A and B are shown apart, each in its own frame.
Chain A
Amino acid sequence: MFAEFFENLKDGRLIGLKCKDCGAVTCPPKNTCNQCGSRKLEKVLLSGKGIIKSYTVTYIAPMGYEKEAPYTVALVELEEGPWIVGRLDLDSQSAEKEDLVGKRVSVYAKEMPTEMFYPDKSKRIVPYFKIEG
């Protein structure tokens, strides 16, 4: 399930699941609706737009990620409702300078090297958030 999500993201498409019972959108995909637990889900294309809800510049990275530090991890609320985790496309100094919560972003993907424990043994496709305007 995750492989399809990331392959689509790499091609510029953010995929979610719309619940036929309650109407809520779940993203990234999950076997049941994140709102009501229903299994009646249909694949939908999302806008790929959202706003920053929180973020943190990570200075001490875990093994396998050291070369990437410092990097900024953000929580974004998508237009369709779900929250997703990704990286902010902004250098760490700029990220520390001003309050970015509420900024509008668009989602895209960057292919990065995998690490020993990551489930995809060939690559990591990382969701990135680009601040708009």
Chain B
Amino acid sequence: MRRVAILGVGMTKFGKHPEKSLVDLFAEAFFEAFDESNIELKDIEAVYYGNFVGEMTDGSANLSGFIADEIGLKNVPAIRYEGACASSSVAFREAVRAVSAGYYDCVVVGGSEKLLTAETGIGTRALATAVDAIYEMVAGLTFPGVFALAARLYAKEYGIPLERLREMMAHVSIKNHRYGAVNPKSQFYGKYGNLKVEDVLNSRMVCSPITLLDSCPMTDGGSAVIIAEERLAKDAVDTPVYVLGTGQASGGALFRQGRDIVKAIPRRKSAEMAFREAKIQPKDVDFVELHDCFTIAEIIALEAMGFFGYGEACYATEEGATSIDGELPVNPDGGLIGKGHPVGATGVSQIYSAVKQLRGEFKWNQVEDARIAMTDTLGGDFGTLVNIILGVE
């Protein structure tokens, strides 16, 4: 197997883009990535594209071919991947494996999604296609609902009064909005940078106990990265960022996971796979970009990935352990809550932020001396998990 490196990264500003198509958003991100990759268009041998619900938001499917054509690539394999919120992380991992195995030397991976331009009811229904279509949807279970159920389970499992847990969850929102507010690419750039616990607790209730400020927003956006085998990467750019390890696992519907819901077993398996492949341990990771679709999601993720013991990440968050100057900075780019969550583009946007950090280019919220980064993307109700570990030499 060959080592794989990232040459260039790009993402659109996250927010509302009614004037741009799914194809436009991918192209914009691609051009930014391509322009810093120092390769020629003909070097790109395949397109890996993540999109979740283009059919419902834009009446658009069969997107991968249109995307390849839009960026000027003719006659290359172009494949769309769908793994709900993890769509472009699934695409990224498949692309890495194809390049590592020698099928291609250089490919582009990215994603795009338009949920903010879609009306809230359509957006909520589109997102809800990632719960069990029969046995969960019949009751009207939504994604905020899934994490609301998980929050209450977490409180019971670890003997924490729900109101106390809500205060600790609020610190995830406060931190991620603080970082999102200084990231020029984020949906909430310049906004919500100074939230208080009460602001989060008292914002509009979505699915109790999850409020609007416990939630990531609906977002339009695109992301793209160009990856290549090691030798090509070293010739092209000064600071290739290496893919040290990847992991992926799956799980069934929320109710099928029963007692294990807050332990997030598929995520634990995925993270362990990535650590094994990278030959490192959680303590070696300098910072994490993880899937904080809701505040409780960040807490559950940190425990399942092995950074904190079960039932401990809520206290660690409140004490500042996951802040930029804490023992493990988490979501220094603002995360899904502060930066936005254009579902199919999210996973590769985490890689964008991680690469910028590892190159020392994330000047608005730089993690000092960052050498190893880990990303985590969750699709569905704990059903599709992808973890990526990146590093610089």
Q: Are A and B interaction partners?
A: yes
B135 touches A58 (CB 8 A): no
A73: chain B residues within 8 A (beta carbon) = 139-141, 145, 149, 207
B132: chain A residues within 8 A (beta carbon) = 85
Q: 1/0 per residue B116-156: CB within 8 Å of A?
A: 00011110110111001111111111101100111011001
A56 touches B152 (CB 8 A): yes
A7: chain B residues within 8 A (beta carbon) = none
Whether, in the assembled complex, A64 has its beta carbon less than 8 Å from a beta carbon of chain B, the answer is yes
Total contacting residues, chain B, CB less than 8 A: 42
Total contacting residues, chain A, CB less than 8 A: 40
Q: 1/0 per residue B232-254: CB within 8 Å of A?
A: 00000000000000000000101
Whether, in the assembled complex, A41 has its beta carbon less than 8 Å from a beta carbon of chain B, the answer is no
A60 touches B124 (CB 8 A): yes
A62: chain B residues within 8 A (beta carbon) = 121, 124-125, 127-128, 140, 142
Within 8 A of B (CB), among A41-79: 53-66, 68-69, 71, 73, 75, 77
B255 touches A75 (CB 8 A): yes
Whether, in the assembled complex, A131 has its beta carbon less than 8 Å from a beta carbon of chain B, the answer is no
A30: chain B residues within 8 A (beta carbon) = 256
Tell whether A57 pairs with B208 under 8 Å between CB atoms, given A65-B140, A85-B255, A127-B138: yes
Query: Top 4 nearest A-B pairs by Cβ distance?
Result: A56-B148, A62-B125, A63-B121, A62-B124
- Which residues of A does B touch, CB under 8 Å? 2, 28, 30, 34, 53-66, 68-69, 71, 73, 75, 77, 82-87, 96, 99, 101, 117-119, 124-127
- Which residues of B does A touch, CB under 8 Å? 119-122, 124-125, 127-129, 132-142, 144-145, 148-150, 152-153, 156, 162, 204-210, 252, 254-256, 258-259
Other contacts beyond A56-B210, A73-B140, A73-B149: 10, CB < 8 A: A34-B252, A53-B153, A58-B140, A60-B124, A61-B121, A62-B142, A63-B119, A65-B140, A77-B258, A83-B258
